[in-house]
Amino acid sequence: MAATSTRTFRPSAGQRRLGAKLIGAALSLAFVLVFNFFLFRVLPGDPAKNLTRNRLVPAEQVEVLRESFGLGKPLPQQFAQYVRDTLSGDLGISYKFRRPVSEVIAERIWPTVLLLGLSTLLSTAIGLWIGIRGAWRRNSVFDRVSLGASLALYAMPEFWLGIMLLIAFGVGVGPLPGLFPTGGLSSPDTELASLAGVADVARHLFLPCLTLTLAYIAEYALVMRSSLLDELTEDYLTTARAKGLRDALVLRRHAVPNALLPTTTLIFLNLGFIVSGAITIETVYSWPGLGLLSYEALRTPDYPLLQGVFLLFSAAVIIANLIADLLYAYLDPRVRTG
């Protein structure tokens, strides 16, 4: 029976697989490292010129600036320097902010992870619950309402949803007062490491988190619902019922674990993008995250910063995929033998 064989683990084959996967991930990362360097240098715009545009800066001074960025050297030499520095853990100095790239990123990564992490967690949990319940009681009132709502939310542009929620709950409509701030992560003059500070951040976090959660719930609910519906027609469920198992048990032990596979893929795909932020939501709610930082970096173009954030984004996606791959093999024996 499928349910028992998933619990066996074959170490030698597993180790081989693990090794191959790890090498694959490392190669992808190396490719990204090389690719990024050339990709960003194709962007229009000369950083030194753009940073001095329309300001009282004589041409000689622009040259000094260009020189200080190391842009005066031939490209192969710049590339060698970049690879050397990156491998030794030095991401360089941002052109625009004039601070180490690692520091600039570190400052922005926790708001992003906080927002995206929490909303992914919430939307996964709620989405799966809605999907399972809807599929199990197909065509019930709950199913019809949740399906309609999911489709509507799925079709809604995040930006529009964000602005609407901002106006309704941030500014207030009619008798409803504006309960939440219109943007930002915390208020000035607040000690973050205090109870008041945590409450302040939570208050700022509420609307962006709500928007993202609503936007993601639909995806999980729809995928979970359809894959569970597929499972429900399988013979083994009839067998399980025939054995006299209770409905809840059939659902929990038999149907859901099998239906979870496509959803797992989706979850890990989304997890990989957690660090790259949600640029639309960061824009609507003025959230100081990484998504917007990468956009700002593109405008200069700030090569070291761009290389830094894209390396991070790629690494996150690659690692999430790696985990999903390995987990998948554990969850589904067909992957392992095939």
Partner 1 sequence: MVVLAALLALTAAPGVTAQEQPAGKLTFTVGIVNDVDSLNPFIGILAETYEVWALMYDQLVGYSQKDFSPVPGLAESWEVSDDELTWTYKIRQGVKWSDGQPLTAKDAAYTFNRIMKGTFEQTNYGNYVSNIKTVEAPDDATLVMTTKEPSPTMLRLAVPILPEHVWKDIDEKEVSTFENEKDAVGSGPFVLAERSTGQFVRLTANKSYWAGAPKIDEVVYRVFNNADAQLQALKKGEIDFADGLDPAPFNSLKDTEGITAVAGDYSGFDELAFNTGAALDSGEPIGDGHPALKDKRVRQAIARAIDKQALVERVLGGYGTPATGVIPALYQNLTFQPADGEAYNFDLAEANRLLEEAGYKDGDGDKVREMPDGSRPLRFRLFARQESNTSQQSVQFMQGWLRDIGIATEVKVVEENRLTEIIGQGEFDMFEWGWVVEPDPDYQLSTFTCGSRSYKSGGDVLANLSDSFYCNEEYDKLYEQQKVTIDPAKRAEIVKEMQRLLYVDAPYVVTFYYDELQAYRSDRFAGFLAQPDPGGVVLFGYGTYSYRNITTPQAAAGSDDDGGSGVPVVPIAIGVAVLGGAGVLLAMRRRSSQDERE
Residues within window 148-207 making contact with partner 1, judged by CB under 8 A: 159-160, 163, 166-167, 170-172, 178-186, 188-189, 196, 199-200, 202-203, 205-206
Residue 57 tokens, joined: 């800066």
- The contacts of residue 338 (CB under 8 Å, 6+ apart) are none
Q: Which of residues 220-249 bind partner 1 (CB under 8 A)?
A: none
Size of the site for partner 1 (CB under 8 A): 75
List the one residue from 8, 55, 139, 175 that touches partner 1 (CB under 8 A). 55
Q: Give the nearest distance from C-beta 121 to partner 1 in angstroms.
A: 9
Q: Which of residues 251-280 bind partner 1 (CB under 8 A)?
A: none
List the one residue from 209, 224, 274, 297 that touches partner 1 (CB under 8 A). 209
Residue range at the interface with partner 1 (CB under 8 A); choices 16-24, 55-63, 228-236, 311-319? 55-63
Q: Give the nearest distance from C-beta 195 to partner 1 in angstroms.
A: 9
* Alpha helices per DSSP H over the chain: 2-5, 11-41, 47-52, 59-68, 75-87, 101-136, 141-155, 158-165, 195-232, 235-242, 247-249, 256-272, 279-284, 290-299, 303-331, 333-337
Nearer to partner 1, 3 or 75 (CB): 75
* Phi-psi category of residue 244: left, alpha or beta, with phi > 0 → left and psi -120 to 50 → alpha: left
Cα–Cα dist 78/69, whole Å: 10
DSSP one-letter code for 53: T
Could you say whether residue 107 binds partner 1 (CB under 8 A)? yes
Cα dihedral 240, 245, 251, 256, rounded to 10, equals -50
User: What does each C-alpha distance from 167 to 154, 182, 203, 205, 314 come to in angstroms?
Assistant: 21, 8, 16, 16, 35
Could you say whether residue 114 binds partner 1 (CB under 8 A)? no
Distance of CA 318 to the CA centre of its chain: 12
Q: Give the nearest distance from C-beta 325 to partner 1 in angstroms.
A: 29
Nearer to partner 1, 285 or 310 (CB): 285
Could you say whether residue 282 binds partner 1 (CB under 8 A)? yes
Nearer to partner 1, 49 or 246 (CB): 49
Cα–Cα dist 270/217, whole Å: 12
List the one residue from 131, 272, 277, 301 that touches partner 1 (CB under 8 A). 301
Residue 6: phi, psi to the nearest 5?
-65, -20
Residue 205: name the closest of 76, 139, 111, 276 by CA.
111
Nearer to partner 1, 100 or 333 (CB): 100
Nearer to partner 1, 97 or 236 (CB): 97
Nearer to partner 1, 124 or 321 (CB): 124
List the one residue from 136, 216, 220, 285 that touches partner 1 (CB under 8 A). 285
Q: Which of residues 58-87 bind partner 1 (CB under 8 A)?
A: 58-59, 61-65, 68, 72
Residue 115: name the closest of 206, 30, 200, 51 by CA.
206
Nearer to partner 1, 196 or 269 (CB): 196
Nearer to partner 1, 186 or 321 (CB): 186
Q: At what angle do helices 256-272 and 195-232 cross, to 10 degrees?
A: 130
Q: Give the nearest distance from C-beta 285 to partner 1 in angstroms.
A: 7
